[in-house]
Structure 1
Amino acid sequence: MRRDDAARGDPTRRAFAKYGSTVALGGLLAGCVGGGDADPESPDGGAADSDSSDGGESAESETDADDGSYTASISPMGEVAFESPPETVFTRLTHHAGMAFALGRGNDVTALHAPDYYDGLWNQFVERLPGVSLDWSGRYSSWQPDKEKLYGLDSDVHLADPAWITRQDAWDRADVDEIAENVSPWFGNSLSDRRQEPADEWADGYQYYGLWEQFEIVAEAFRERERYEALAGVRDDLLSTIEGGLPPEEERPTAIMIAAADIESIYAYTLSNPGFLTSHTRPLGPRDAFEGSVESGTVVDFETILEADPDVILYLGGMEPGTDMAGRRAAFEDDPVGSEVTAVQNDRIHPQGARYQGPVLNLFQLEMTAKQLYPETFGEWPRYEEGPYPEIPDGERLFDRQRVADVINGEV
């Protein structure tokens, strides 16, 4: 859609600007949130295991039998009406891009944060899905999106949370509302990442979702209920396997998750706090080596890590192709303090992928983290240094790769 066409008020071809109970139309796309300026994955930048929410919009959609239009609901937008299922998809954070990928629209993503970085990282896992391909390279980098660029991309849906978008200095209520009216609607939720408090004007009715709860809602917006149910079945089986194999809490290892672009700035991340960022560690129930004394994003040093003395260190971003895992381990091993940490002495520094994970990455990360924490129960995790997700022998896999690949490819 050309910018001047939209300015004349021509209706969007994909969706109506119809929003429901969460906010009134005039106050639809406004507000800003705390803690949203830093890159959520970059190092500088106790809930139930079921990945449950505090409530929220229904995942069910309603269809108008006359013209094929339908509605789907998600906080903070409320009810959104679509003329037809979206094909091209704007995203900002990769949990949303990962949802589009799971629904067979990975290559239809028009924008995401750090596209080349996440293209490389995601493809480390896609390598193990037979017949599945993904290419996010060269997409528009949308961490600080430009409004005119969104007109140019002309995406069928903006799978992003307007409460995060309007935190950017270049955006206000009118700008986001304009895009929803003239290009396509917003349909996403990001403050559920760590249950962030919304700005005051969003606080009334803002709902939090688990990763898979939001995926179910997004699947309804894309008219992809079957794909969602098939993948949710894979996850249910995986969680059942994990739950059946967990030792008593007092016998579980202590662990920490860290990230570091250089060893001088080590950032620690929590493992079990509410929010979908811990949807791959919370179900596994490791004991927090910091015992709650370190908040997510806190800079720590070797002395602090040694004081906590974890049995396992999970290294965020270690699966990214440009990460030197051997060098990261060596930095601990060569330091007189770091080398004393139990996890270092027992060679239990393991790579992780991303916290802003879609459902498919979540399956892989549940499997890999289960093996990293409980090798005696779920099988050894290979000593990873580089390359794609390791080829796990058939009998030691915790979920069916072929089934996941079939669903992504539309063979439900």
Structure 2
Amino acid sequence: MSVPRFQLFHLSVAYETSTRRDYLKYSGVVVGSGLLAGCLGGNESSSAPESTTTGTQTTDTAPNEKAAAADGSYSVTMAPMGPVTFDAVPERIFTRLTHLAGMAFALGRGNDVTAMHAPDYYHALWNQFTPRLEGVSLDWTGLYSSWETSKEKLYELDSDVHLADPASVFALESWNMDDIEEISENVGPWFGNNYSDRHAEPPAEWADDYQYYGLWEMFEKVAAVFREEARYEALAEIRAGILDSIESNLPPDGKRPTAVMITAADLERDIYAYTLNTPGFLTAHTRPLGPQDAFDGTIESGAVVDFEALLEADPDVILFLGGIHPDSNMQDIRETLGAAPVASEITAVQNDRVHPLGARYQGPILNLFQLEMSAKQLYPEQFGEWPTYVKGPYPEIPESERMLDRQRVAEVINGDI
């Protein structure tokens, strides 16, 4: 069974003339060595304390994220941009990676997205979950696929805000600092952070002022951009309840299963394996569950492995990224593993514990669903059995066995807070 190759690219990537927008002003990007000091909008607001955390995960929340100025403008601070000032709530939303598109979706703004990576693929994937959210709809079909974006295309899209990391856009071969400044001044500000995905190193020009955020820390800041703090707080409360349930019911370390997280375009040729417990928001759905990594630190995340390597690791559970996408069929994946002389000896294959996942570049809503599904896949005795899944939407789970309140999530997305 195959997964589209553009999804594998997305999963394994490691680093990577409008004036109407005068009402959205870029208030400052602070770049290492002062390269852009004064050139992208000047000094930081005196009301925004300078963060002292560099190159580590941070939990700072600047006061100016909660208050607006007398003229109605407001400022939100996140590395690597520094403080960004808005005179009005952005309407048209450019994104690159789907963790930020997923944040727009969680805030009821999913259909205001103008661009994203592999939009048709992720439209189909996200809409495997929306059937469980009453009254929630999402349409990303036909959007501009923005991973290798150009300055000219950003002018054409004319978005009010670019939920994209300017450091990662700068890393594209066709971009330079002047281009980053030009788009922020003439089209709309940048607001994103990609290198928090695995605490990767940003380009040297940005490293001095880079900080790492958890998925939900970043979501809080994005929510402040759209003045949707109440939606963020309501969803964060749901997440806190799930995490409390997980923490109180996890078995001791020595009694937890070993697991691997993989994906493949062709299971018999190229298998990509990913870490489960390393820092960064790519493991926001597995790290809280604390499974034992079957590879035990012997591979880098995104490494190519074969059946022999999987058998040597011999996981109790295999989590297959993209397995819940409509183009995937978990029964085919299980049968391929079971028919291979080497793979058939893997404990997870013999015990029918090969399960689907969605995506690592997950927004808040996918993260909530994936916490529930991963908990059931890894710890059925503690959290209830995960249904045997073949294909189709996220499976129905009896209400008494749900960890996630779907109705409440749907209400929040739809603004009933």
Tell me if TM exceeds 0.5. yes
Could you tell me which of 164, 173, 176 is aligned with 2:177? 173
Could you tell me which of 189, 192, 197 is aligned with 2:193? 189
Q: Distance in 2 between matches of 1:96 and 1:235?
A: 18
Could you tell me which of 18, 26, 31 is aligned with 2:36? 26
Structure 2: 5+ residue stretches without partners: 1-16, 41-55
User: 2:138 aligned with 1:147, yes or no?
Assistant: no
Q: Distance in 2 between matches of 1:65 and 1:176?
A: 27
2:209 match: secondary structure: coil
1:111 match: secondary structure: strand
Q: Distance in 2 between matches of 1:387 and 1:214?
A: 31
Residues 265-285 of structure 1 deviation map (CA, whole Å, 9 limit, x = unaligned): 001000000000000000000
Deviation at residue 65 of structure 1 after TM alignment = 3.8
2:375 match: secondary structure: helix
Q: CA separation of 1:191/1:29 partners in 2, compared to 1, >3 Å: closer, same or farther?
A: farther
1:317 match: secondary structure: coil
Give the residue type in structure 2 aligned to 1:322.
D
Q: CA separation of 1:163/1:21 partners in 2, compared to 1, >3 Å: closer, same or farther?
A: closer
Deviation at residue 260 of structure 1 after TM alignment = 0.2
Could you tell me which of 243, 249, 264 is aligned with 1:260? 264
Q: Distance in 2 between matches of 1:266 and 1:365?
A: 21
Q: Distance in 1 between matches of 2:73 and 2:305?
A: 52
Deviation at residue 201 of structure 1 after TM alignment = 1.4
Judge conservation of contact 1:100–1:109 (CA < 8 Å) in 2. yes
Judge conservation of contact 2:165–2:193 (CA < 8 Å) in 1. yes
User: 2:344 aligned with 1:344, yes or no?
Assistant: no
Give the residue type in structure 2 aligned to 1:377.
Q
Residues 238-277 of structure 1 deviation map (CA, whole Å, 9 limit, x = unaligned): 1001111100010000000011000110010000000000
Q: Distance in 2 between matches of 1:178 and 1:11?
A: 15
Where does residue 280 of structure 1 map in the other structure? 285
Q: Distance in 2 between matches of 1:130 and 1:99?
A: 18
User: 2:409 aligned with 1:404, yes or no?
Assistant: yes
Deviation at residue 324 of structure 1 after TM alignment = 2.2
Could you tell me which of 156, 160, 163 is aligned with 2:160? 156
Residues 195-242 of structure 1 deviation map (CA, whole Å, 9 limit, x = unaligned): 001222111121000000000011111111100000000000010011
Equivalences for residues 225-374 of structure 1 within 5 A: 225-263=229-267, 264-374=269-379
Judge conservation of contact 2:168–2:202 (CA < 8 Å) in 1. no
Percent identity for Structure 1 against Structure 2 = 62
Deviation at residue 294 of structure 1 after TM alignment = 1.2
Could you tell me which of 16, 28, 46 is aligned with 2:25? 16
Equivalences for residues 53-64 of structure 1 within 5 A: 53-56=57-60, 58=62, 60-61=64-65, 63-64=67-68
Q: Distance in 2 between matches of 1:314 and 1:145?
A: 32
User: 2:397 aligned with 1:383, yes or no?
Assistant: no
Q: Distance in 2 between matches of 1:387 and 1:28?
A: 52
Judge conservation of contact 1:12–1:183 (CA < 8 Å) in 2. yes
2:36 match: secondary structure: helix
Judge conservation of contact 2:259–2:293 (CA < 8 Å) in 1. yes
Deviation at residue 57 of structure 1 after TM alignment = 5.6
Residues 139-189 of structure 1 deviation map (CA, whole Å, 9 limit, x = unaligned): 110010121111111111000101111111121111111110001100010
Residues 300-338 of structure 1 deviation map (CA, whole Å, 9 limit, x = unaligned): 111111111100000011011101221111111001110
Deviation at residue 13 of structure 1 after TM alignment = 3.3
2:76 match: secondary structure: strand
Give the residue type in structure 1 aligned to 2:87.
E
Could you tell me which of 120, 125, 130 is aligned with 2:129? 125
2:127 match: secondary structure: helix
Judge conservation of contact 1:57–1:75 (CA < 8 Å) in 2. no
Where does residue 44 of structure 2 map in the other structure? none
Judge conservation of contact 1:29–1:163 (CA < 8 Å) in 2. no
Where does residue 224 of structure 2 map in the other structure? 220
Q: CA separation of 1:123/1:308 partners in 2, compared to 1, >3 Å: closer, same or farther?
A: same
Deviation at residue 55 of structure 1 after TM alignment = 4.7
1:80 match: secondary structure: strand
Q: Distance in 2 between matches of 1:232 and 1:137?
A: 28
1:392 match: secondary structure: coil
Could you tell me which of 59, 68, 71 is aligned with 2:75? 71
RMSD after superposition: 1.8
Where does residue 114 of structure 1 map in the other structure? 118
Where does residue 48 of structure 2 map in the other structure? none
Deviation at residue 54 of structure 1 after TM alignment = 3.5
Where does residue 46 of structure 1 map in the other structure? none
Could you tell me which of 80, 86, 90 is aligned with 1:82? 86
Q: Distance in 2 between matches of 1:157 and 1:96?
A: 12
Judge conservation of contact 1:59–1:216 (CA < 8 Å) in 2. no
Residues 79-123 of structure 1 deviation map (CA, whole Å, 9 limit, x = unaligned): 001011112110000000000000110000000000000000000
Deviation at residue 12 of structure 1 after TM alignment = 2.3
Residues 366-398 of structure 1 deviation map (CA, whole Å, 9 limit, x = unaligned): 000000000111111011110000011100100
Structure 1: 5+ residue stretches without partners: 31-51
Q: Distance in 2 between matches of 1:246 and 1:308?
A: 23
